[in-house]
Structures are given as C-alpha cells and as structure tokens.
Amino acid sequence: FVYPKIHITFYNRLPENPSKPLLVHCKSRDDNLGTHMLTHGQSWEFSFCAVLFLTKFKCDLHWNGLNLIVAYDVNWFHQQCDYASCT
C-alpha cells in the first residue's frame, strides 16, 4: 500500500497589519513543526505521508487576539474527501 502525500499550506490573507502577524504552530504525536510567523501575503507549508488510522496533526492559529484550532485526521479526510482536495 502506498501512503498518499498530503500537502498543507497556510496563507495569511488577513487584513494587513505588520504588528499583528498570523502565528501558526503545528504538531503531531511525533513531530513538532514549531511556530511560524506569517505577515500579510506570506505562506507556510508542510507535507507528510498519511498513514491510515495513525496520522493526526493539530495546528493552532493565533491572530489579533483570536485563536483557531485546525486538526487533520487521516481517517476523516479519507472518508470525506477520498484523498482528493477537500475545502
């Protein structure tokens, strides 16, 4: 079985304010990808091979006092998107 490669990209398209960048921190059980500071117009991406039943990433996003958690679970992605683009 070939594990599909998943690409995740974060774009900062929030209102431009140099003093308030978008902070993105992603981690899985095995990997901590650190915190990335994105100013308006910048992007950051990472990729990984999705192992069924095992791959889960959690990304915390912070901007201007707002917090959002984005989670990737390979089992949900497979069921909802059949390993294709899912928006």
In this predicted model, what pLDDT tens digit does every residue of 32-85 receive, in sequence order?
Answer: 999 999 999 999 999 888 777 678 888 999 999 999 888 777 665 544 455 444
Per-residue model confidence (pLDDT) at position 87: 40
Q: Is residue 71 part of a domain?
A: yes
Instruction: Give the CATH number, domain containing residue 50.
Output: 2.60.40
User: How many domains does the chain fold into?
Assistant: 1
Tell me the residue ranges of DSSP E strands in the chain.
5-11, 22-28, 32-38, 43-49, 56-63, 66-73
Backbone angles phi, psi at 26, to 5 degrees: -115, 145
Q: In what order do the strands lie in the sheet with 56-63?
A: 32-38, 22-28, 56-63, 66-73
Among 4-8, 11-15, 30-34, where is mean pLDDT lowest?
4-8
| pTM, to two decimals | 0.77
Quote the CA–CA distance of 31 and 39 in Å, as a whole number.
24
Q: Is residue 87 assigned to a domain?
A: no
* Residue 4, pLDDT above cutoff 90: no
Within a domain: residue 86?
A: no
Residue-number span of the structural domain to which 10 is assigned? 5-81
